[in-house]
Amino acid sequence: MKKLFTLFFLVTIGQIYCQTIDSAWVTKNYTKLETLIPMRDGTKLFTCIYAPKNTGTETHPILMMRTPYSCSPYGKDQFSSRLYATNWSNYIKENYIIVMQDVRGKYMSEGEFMDVRPFIENKKGKQFDEASDSYDAIDWLVKNVPKNNGNVGVFGISYPGFYSTMAALSNHPALKAVSPQAPVTDWFIGDDFHHNGAFALMDGFSFYSSFGKPRPKPTTRGAKGFSFPEKDNYSFYLKQGALKNYKKLMGDSIAFWNEMMDHPNLDDWWKARNARVGCKEVKPAMLTVGGTFDAEDCYGAWNLYKAIEKQSPKTNNKLVMGPWVHGGWHRGEGTHLGNVRFGSKTAEYYQKNIELPFFESHLRNKGSDKQIAEATIFFSGENNWKNLESWPPSNTENKTVYLDQNQKLSFDKPNANNSFSKYTSDPNKPVPYTEDVHSHRTREYMDDDQRFAARRTDVLVFETGNLTEDITLAGTVIADLKVSLSTSDADFVVKIIDVFPDNFIYDTNYCCQDKNWKQVEMAGYQMLVRGEIMRARFRNSFEKPEAFTPNKIETVKLELPDVAHTFKKGHKLMIQIQSSWFPLFDRNPQQFVDIYKCDDKDFISSDIKVFHQADAASGIVLPILKK
């Protein structure tokens, strides 16, 4: 009898998974309810609830996403394509109750929207934040949605990743598992709109020209963005000049843009908007997910995980990082990015082996998440997943590779008395972030060939010889530069690059070719592994910027987002250093002025020296994974 039951169970499961989950299947097997859920202050949030039909006495977990990007389509007979066109279909197959909610002040929800609304640790009375809105929504759902099993999970990518973090901080007893994915975490130090104080011009302007427009009343429609008059983003942004000129294009109604312009330094306004500040005594299990080649946010996932580890050490806290673009684990196969190939369907691996088992174990008590490593990290270069007991791994060794004469990198500290490399940074001819002409920021720049930049006179290049053994980086790279300027300020961009051998070629069957794939010339390819920028006025403090004394040698130390990459034997390690990365980031006028308020005339050239001598040795601290 037991064998017959097991056979019946396996056949039934097989039938479920053989079914095609499409729009027709979803509308046949699910119902949709649209409702307004009241918050503690009386504001009502628009919520879509998709529930399975005809499941007898079976109860189901709730999986929720809160979003500022709309839970459309609206109308009780209109079903979201997310349910069948993304990895959400995994949960539909398992009869999860799916909930989507417009956050306060967006689309069909009541109230006033606030960007990265600060967390209030000790709320009183009807005080609210995104954590309390999550709590109130969860509380209503478990009490009012029929056939729920009392277990709730929350997930979301990017801005919904921020709301996932806030949901985790609500600590509602029914909330058992949360997965912040590419979460908005810190918009001044590392993700989306600033990196180490430098403003991400292209993303900031294109995003807020639509997202930031006020919504006077609930609506099903989003605002239209700026209509770009030309297809060459480098040309367009250069023509606009100083940052203050963008207000003419934005108008006066984009509140958050204006606020950013009024807060050039890391002050209390920015600190309150750091999503990590409340990560204490987090109760639900956490699965933080991100992409190692995420152009929007290569910072948030690494650093949210670390914050929870530090501030809430008892939390069941896990990290997954794959070779993905923003949300690339959610859609697509994750086989390649641009010209670089990863050798397997990494997104499919994640969905089947990590995300679904994580929620199944905590929301339906099926299996155990102990099979999921503390840190599941994909290492590009070797194209291999590593299951690690911690991140960064305990068996890493920080080792400095030094800049040296003749464009060389060496693990031996230089002993010259007077040695430097120099270049002139001209803000009228900034270094482009990519070789090609595009209208919008690309995703592929994150592993683009950097030979176009290496050929410029305002980019310094240093490289090793051919490596005699593999070198694997696993953790935070720190650039420790000794520099002098002819002016009072500058930016520094540091790029970690994998130089492929001169005879390198991918096998034509290397993996997962799509019909449009063609062999690309990869011999000598200079693959960007990680790049980062720092506004050097913040070299000693993000709160209190300092001008440079012209021609005085000073230290500029910056952290790059974590790296998980293996430089294979026969490859070379290259470092590039420059002072602009345009229009990815705004131009520094290279004078100690308020960059958000300065004039076009304030932009001047700067002669920059990077030193590699005994008493001023510039180096890159590499987290090398020991064998």
Model pLDDT for residues 170-218, shown as the tens digit of each residue? 999 999 999 999 999 999 999 999 999 999 999 999 999 999 999 999 9
> Which pLDDT tens digit goes with each residue over 377-425?
999 999 999 999 999 999 999 999 999 999 999 999 999 999 999 999 9
Which pLDDT score, from 0 to 100, does residue 12 have?
38
Is-contact 374 318, C-beta < 8 A?
A: yes
Q: Is the dihedral of CA 134, 136, 140, 142 positive or negative?
A: positive
When pLDDT is averaged across residues 438-456 and rounded to a whole number, the result is 97
Does the pLDDT of residue 551 top 70, yes or no?
yes
Share of the chain above pLDDT 70, in %: 95
> Which pLDDT tens digit goes with each residue over 144-165?
999 999 999 999 999 999 999 9
When pLDDT is averaged across residues 504-529 and rounded to a whole number, the result is 79
Residues in Cβ contact with 344 at an 8 Å cutoff, skipping those fewer than 6 apart: 335, 383, 511, 512
When pLDDT is averaged across residues 504-530 and rounded to a whole number, the result is 79
> Which pLDDT tens digit goes with each residue over 295-304?
999 999 999 9
Roughly how many angstroms between the first and final C-alpha of the chain, as a whole number? 51
Token pair 């930016």 is found at 491
> What residues does 531 pair with on adjacent strands?
495
Share of the chain above pLDDT 90, in %: 92
Which pLDDT score, from 0 to 100, does residue 563 have?
98
Percent of the chain as helix, strand, coil, to the nearest 5? 25, 30, 50
Domain with CATH 3.40.50.1820 in the chain: 2-188+273-388
- The CATH number of the domain covering residues in 396-505+519-625: 2.60.120.260
Q: Quick one: pLDDT band at residue 614, thresholds 50, 70, 90?
A: very high
Peptide bond connecting 392 to the previous residue in cis, omega within 30 degrees of 0? yes
Average pLDDT, the chain: 94
Token pair 């940074």 is found at 425
> Which pLDDT tens digit goes with each residue over 32-82?
999 999 999 999 999 999 999 987 899 999 999 999 999 999 999 999 999
Q: Number of helices (H) and strands (E) in the chain: give both, helices first.
A: 15, 26
Q: Residue 305: count other Cβ atoms within 10 Å of its Cβ.
A: 27
Residues in Cβ contact with 303 at an 8 Å cutoff, skipping those fewer than 6 apart: 185, 186, 190, 276
User: Which backbone phi and psi does 536 adopt, to 5 degrees?
Assistant: -70, -15
Which pLDDT score, from 0 to 100, does residue 11 have?
37
Which pLDDT score, from 0 to 100, does residue 332 have?
87
Q: Quick one: pLDDT band at residue 627, thresholds 50, 70, 90?
A: confident
Cα 612-615-616 angle, rounded to 5 deg? 40
Domain with CATH 2.60.120.260 in the chain: 396-505+519-625
Does the pLDDT of residue 475 top 60, yes or no?
yes
When pLDDT is averaged across residues 238-247 and rounded to a whole number, the result is 96
H helices present in 212-299, as ranges: 233-240, 247-250, 255-261, 268-271
> Which pLDDT tens digit goes with each residue over 358-387?
999 999 999 999 999 999 999 999 999 999
> Structure pTM?
0.94
Name which CATH class applies to 2-188+273-388. Answer: alpha beta
When pLDDT is averaged across residues 321-348 and rounded to a whole number, the result is 95
When pLDDT is averaged across residues 309-336 and rounded to a whole number, the result is 96
Which pLDDT score, from 0 to 100, does residue 15 have?
41
Q: Between residues 273 and 512, which one has the greater pLDDT? A: 273
> Which pLDDT tens digit goes with each residue over 77-129?
999 999 999 999 999 999 999 999 999 999 999 999 999 999 999 999 999 99
Sheet holding 175-181, edge to edge: 30-38, 44-52, 97-102, 60-67, 148-157, 175-181, 285-291, 317-322, 375-379, 384-388
Does the pLDDT of residue 235 top 60, yes or no?
yes
Which pLDDT score, from 0 to 100, does residue 20 have?
82
CA–CA separation, 584 and 361 (whole Å): 41
